[in-house]
Amino acid sequence: MSRLLDAYRALHQQAFIPIFVRDHIPDSKKLIEGCLEAGMRVIEYTQRRSDAPTMIPWVRKNYPDIYLLVGSTLDDDAIITKQQIKFSQLRTVGELDAMDVDGFISMIGWSEGSIKKYHSSHIVIPAVSTLREAFLNVAAGAHFVKVPGSHPDLIKSYRWEAAFDYCPLFATGGLTSDRIPIAIDAGAVITATGFDLTLKECSAEVSVKEIAAIMKHYMETAQNAQLTKWPELAKAADADNQCWLNALPHYHPF
């Protein structure tokens, strides 16, 4: 199995992705340990976190089996060069690629050219704001499109009958554990939430054990909701790649 397909399958099976954002927990390594203890294999480390340039290579070196997605990516090198004056942690997509990451997520979105350049080697998840934009991004090779998790009616609109279930949705934003099943029932296949929300009630000294318990709760909530919505995924959980791909409730690029 190629690492790209393995990462793609792990994303679906985990169902919930923890997002490393700018939050009140300074110890990034402790957060990673908590995710691993919870049984997670996929994380999103965003460039909003100031330690991203050092932590991304550290994660890859120390945990090569983690599927590492980088969030808050920009695909314009000239913009990044200028914005590095204020945000020194920003790196170009090429620089992140050289760090051997597994995928890219963007809140702003990517150009068609960037999607086509990287989709055959990395998971690519650009944000979209319209159904037409989602169609064009998926057609260009995006593995998922990122949509706001706090608007279930909008999520439903991406999966109307006339769209023939093509759209693979990655939902983020405001997804507490009680809202995750709502987003998945509306049509989101994958959900994600930042530690600024999942650990909001915890102090900066939160333990690895406490982090793991919360992450496991979020992950199992998403997995249960996903399998309730699409029971065919449960039946194909141990199937070979082609049978599993055929069971997906959306278009896939493989």
Q: What is the C-alpha separation between 53 and 132, in angstroms, rounded? A: 34
Contact 177, 183 (CB under 8 A): no
Residue 36 lies inside a defined structural domain of this protein: yes
On whether residue 102 sits in a domain, the answer given is: yes
Question: Residues 98, 100, 101, CA angle at the centre, nearest 5°?
Answer: 115
Give the SS3 label for residue 80: helix
CB 67 within 8 A of CB 41: yes
User: pLDDT, tens digit, for every residue of 124-140?
Assistant: 999 999 999 999 999 99
Is 253 inside any structural domain? Answer: no
Identify whether the C-beta of residue 175 lies closer than 8 Å to the C-beta of residue 151: no
- Please name the amino acid found at residue 147: V
- Domain total of the chain: 1
Pairing of strands 67-71, 169-172: unpaired
Categorize the per-residue pLDDT at 54 as very low, low, confident or very high, splitting at 50, 70 and 90: very high
Q: Would you call 60 helix, strand, or coil by DSSP?
A: helix
The residue range of the domain holding 88 is 3-247
Q: Is 169 inside any structural domain?
A: yes
Is the CB of residue 127 less than 8 Å from the CB of residue 145? yes
Report the pLDDT averaged over residues 9-38: 96
Residue 124 forms part of a structural domain: yes
Q: Give this prediction's pTM.
A: 0.96
Helix extents (H) in the chain = 3-14, 28-37, 52-62, 77-83, 93-98, 112-118, 131-140, 152-157, 180-186, 195-198, 208-229, 231-235, 241-247
17 assigned to some structural domain:
yes
Whether 46 is covered by a domain: the verdict is: yes
pLDDT in tens, 205-223: 999 999 999 999 999 999 9
